Amino acid sequence: MRLLSYNIQYGFGQDNAYDLARVAKIVGQADIAALQEVDRHWSRTGHDDQPALLARATGRFAVYGAAFDMDAATADDPLRRRQFGPLVLSRWPILWSRTHPLPLDRMITPINTQTCAIEAVIATPNGPLRLFNLHLAHVGRAERLTQIAALKTLAAQTSGPWSGQDDEPARNWTESQPEPPCPMAQLWLGDFNMEPGSPEYLAITGDTPYHPGALYAGQMVDAVAHLGARLHTHEKVIAGQTRLRQLDHIFASAELAPRLRRTWTAPDIASDHLPLWLDMD
């Protein structure tokens, strides 16, 4: 099973050209893709419905979470909305999903925008797989730490969209379906805007300096570090020097660690981030 975490910068590449087709070409190589910064009906991307276009181009099942939703009505389309958020694409059916807004701090400068996490459970051949696709705040460490704390609370939930017995069968709340699966083992994929070893990173992985590789039950494991790789997914010029940074991550529950096989990035200009890949049994 091949997974992808990819901030697509709404289809704008390192050459500043808007080209969603080259993004779709990369995404189509994944069984499951967690994409961040996906537009719907923005003028900067020609008012494209990017979730629909990417789902159609890749032939994947799709769920989209609007981190925020704005009026974008025109005379021809008075109901149009402008949206921005993460997208999950899957070769296999997505059994259920829900969108969680993450805590947002009010900012004076620069701009700060609402972010969210999509939680989804996918019907893979090996059983249901639970994942979170997210994008953390890009400016403040304290805000990211608050968002990670909220994410941990969400991840600890043991029920999906509903639980318990339907006591109003005439209204058919469950559509006669069984209670949706909600595995505790899970993956977190996304643009975390943090580097390995940072306080935010350690808030996710824990810190065991005297016992490297120690795994607590329920702990999240950095797939890249677990597999002994050193990668970068973003380049930024700071004080005149180009820094290679890993801001994108895939974290797995400790129970899933034995199933992790290979992780890598590949040079590409389709976005300002590189795609982060993971092969998993």
Per residue in 197-221, pLDDT (tens digit) is 999 999 999 888 788 777 777 789 9
Max CA pair span of the chain: 67
User: Cα separation of 48 and 191, whole Å?
Assistant: 23
Identify whether the C-beta of residue 262 lies closer than 8 Å to the C-beta of residue 250. Answer: no
User: Cα separation of 33 and 89, whole Å?
Assistant: 5
Angle of helix 50-58 relative to helix 20-27, nearest 10 degrees? Answer: 50
Length of the chain in terms of residues written:
281
**DSSP-assigned letters across all residues of 217-270:** TT-EEEHHHHTT-----EEEEETTEEEEE--EEEEEEGGGGGGEEEEEE----S
User: Cα separation of 29 and 51, whole Å?
Assistant: 17
At 169 the pLDDT is 77
Strands 32-40 and 2-7: parallel
Low-confidence ranges of the chain (pLDDT < 70): 237-240
**214-251 pLDDT, tens digit each:** 777 778 999 999 999 999 998 876 666 778 899 999 99
At 170 the pLDDT is 78
Whose CA is closest to 67, among 117, 19, 33? 117
At 96 the pLDDT is 97
At 131 the pLDDT is 98
Structure tokens at 258: 């034995």
Strand ranges (E), the chain: 2-7, 32-40, 61-64, 68-71, 81-90, 94-101, 116-124, 127-135, 186-191, 220-222, 234-238, 241-245, 248-253, 260-265, 276-280
At 209 the pLDDT is 76
Structure tokens at 174: 């469950």
Q: Nearest 5 degrees, angle CA 259-CA 262-CA 264?
A: 145
At 122 the pLDDT is 98
CATH placement of domain 2-159+178-280:
3.60.10.10
User: Cα separation of 162 and 174, whole Å?
Assistant: 8
